[in-house]
Structure 1
Amino acid sequence: MGHTSTRTNHSAGESARLVIAVDGPSGSGKSSVCQEAARRLGAHYLDTGAMYRAATWYCLDRELDLDDQDAVAVALEELPLKISTDPDHQVIMVGATDVTEAIRQSRISEKVSEVANNRKARPLLISAQRDIIDASEFIVAEGRDVTTVVAPDAQVRVLLTASAEVRLARRGLQLGGSASSEALNRQVIGRDKRDSVTTNFTEAADGVGVLDSSDLSFDQTVDSLIERVRDVQETDPAGVSRPTVSAQAKSGSEPTSGAAAHGKNL
């Protein structure tokens, strides 16, 4: 599986080997929260769910039967994926095709679990995710099993969650009220149920802190995550130095619109 990641340099300060891993169910806000936290911290940002979505798009574009696990795994060995880790400029390319918007379509949302739960294909994507994280000195990575499988040794590990009612409401806002309650349940509750076959993202593993955003605003949730990062930086354990966050990193080096609601992606 071919893959590359790109990011422009946000911070001119001291670099540090620091990994922030965040997992959570659909609609918990992990993508928008983690992207904003990375922006403020001057860190790289990896949306692992986008990689599964891109893989799903690739398979559907080739009209593969997603139930054929062998065919999907063989196809993904050749997946020409390029994903940006710049929180201000998220671009996902498959070959020469920009799929950044296409992978958010309902047809992908309703099929991505079939690829994510493919036990022959999943290791390929996990390996690619680890490569991207290992190549980054300071990164916020989020998904379903980042805290337990992809980066279990991350210095900061958080399970970001919210009540089912709140998650459904957030996903409805994200879709602009265009989805029926049945479709929302299918995208949020149904997908979580399907994905729970291979990963446990509803309960925190040992050493993973819980951040419940049910009663928190977007900014409060971001602040809480950053506070946990700062706690680790202040403790300054062996192998972790304190990255300097420049004013440019906090504001973003390129004009970009901030996420107005939780659950921007996955």
Structure 2
Amino acid sequence: MSTESTPEPSTESSTPPSLEPVPVVVAIDGPSGSGKSSVSKAVATRLGYGYVDTGAMYRALAWYCLDLGLGLTDQAAVAQAARDLPLELGTDPSAPTVVVGGTDVSAAIRTTEISSRVSAVATNLDVRAELVRRQRELIAAVAASQGGVVAEGRDLTTVVVPDATVRLLVTASEEARLARRSTELHGTADAASVAATRDQIVRRDKDDSAVSQFLTAAPGVTVVDTSDLDFAGSVQAVLDEVNAVPTTR
């Protein structure tokens, strides 16, 4: 009779290990009036993610420089102001805030004065280098703490977070963009209001496109055209793109 013992059955489970969710970064670029800001906030709220408005950083810096009495064309002084900028950016999509040196400037940075002058700050390459650094740090921190983040701006998909989980260009026809921004600023999209809005939209996009890419999609970036979509449709179109991407490993 054999004295060899019968091997004990293996206690190792044959069930594959469960997949772990990874922080999701949704990067959304787009021109003025495309709807990217309002859509981004709605998408972040629906998903329970944080929200980062990178454009608010440039607006906040413009406000800070003007508050200090700096000329926005003094590139060296503005670049130093960017490095010194005491900025706190609230990332709750339902109530995003922008605070500079203890002053809430959330409303102040949306005025026509800032909108018409922010390009002088945003096209300063030294400023962009500093603010891109800050944006990357904030986006990574919010994604890690909340499981995901929706970040929107101008060159997120190509420069700031080119390895984002989802990379989208939210765009719309010039006519649609002008009508939306006119309604936002003036409460109407009649001919006079659209004409008053045109310079702010078209000129700013032209100026900013010299240093960032947001009018055409880079390779691997999905275009979401909202020209013929209402707000709910635009939000759903972005959600569909986000939900189509695996978020586990």
**TM-score (normalizing by structure 1):** 0.81
Alignment partners' CA distance in 1, 2:28 and 2:177: 16
Identify the residue that residue 213 of structure 1 maps to in structure 2: 226
The alpha carbon displacement at 1:183 in A equals: 2.9
**Structure 2 residue matching 1:110: 3-state secondary structure:** helix
The alpha carbon displacement at 1:16 in A equals: 3.2
The alpha carbon displacement at 1:144 in A equals: 0.4
**Structure 1 residue matching 2:186: 3-state secondary structure:** coil
Match of 1:195 among 192, 208, 228: 208
The alpha carbon displacement at 1:177 in A equals: 3.6
Alignment partners' CA distance in 2, 1:15 and 1:30: 26
Identify the residue that residue 82 of structure 1 maps to in structure 2: 88
Identify the residue that residue 254 of structure 1 maps to in structure 2: none
Task: String of CA shifts for 1:156-203, please: whole Å, max 9, x gaps.
Answer: 000000000000000011013477444311111111011011012111
**Structure 1 residue matching 2:150: 3-state secondary structure:** strand
Match of 2:52 among 39, 46, 55: 46
Identify the residue that residue 143 of structure 1 maps to in structure 2: 153
The alpha carbon displacement at 1:15 in A equals: 6.0
**TM-score (normalizing by structure 2):** 0.86
Name the structure where helix makes up a greater proportion of residues.
2
CA contact (8 A) 2:61 2:81 kept: no
1:94 maps onto 2:100 in alignment: yes
Residues 196, 89 of structure 1: alpha-carbon distance in 2 compared, 3 angstrom cutoff: same
Alignment partners' CA distance in 1, 2:185 and 2:138: 30
Alignment partners' CA distance in 1, 2:138 and 2:225: 28
Alignment partners' CA distance in 1, 2:21 and 2:101: 31
Identify the residue that residue 162 of structure 1 maps to in structure 2: 172
Deviates more, 1:181-190 or 1:116-125: 181-190
The alpha carbon displacement at 1:117 in A equals: 0.3
Alignment partners' CA distance in 2, 1:89 and 1:26: 21
**Structure 2 residue matching 1:55: 3-state secondary structure:** helix
Task: String of CA shifts for 1:108-136, please: whole Å, max 9, x gaps.
Answer: 00011110000111111110000001112
Alignment partners' CA distance in 2, 1:113 and 1:165: 22
Pair member with larger Rg: 2
Task: String of CA shifts for 1:30-76, please: whole Å, max 9, x gaps.
Answer: 00000000000000100101111001100011111111100101112
Structure 1 unaligned regions, length at least 5: 1-13, 242-266
Matches within 5 A, 1:13-52: 16-52=22-58
Structure 2 unaligned regions, length at least 5: 1-19
The alpha carbon displacement at 1:141 in A equals: 0.3
Identify the residue that residue 131 of structure 1 maps to in structure 2: 137
1:172 maps onto 2:182 in alignment: yes
1:227 maps onto 2:237 in alignment: no
Match of 1:103 among 94, 106, 109: 109
**Structure 2 residue matching 1:175: 3-state secondary structure:** helix
Number of matched residues? 223
Alignment partners' CA distance in 2, 1:70 and 1:27: 31
**Structure 1 residue matching 2:51: 3-state secondary structure:** strand
CA contact (8 A) 2:64 2:85 kept: yes
Identify the residue that residue 184 of structure 1 maps to in structure 2: 197
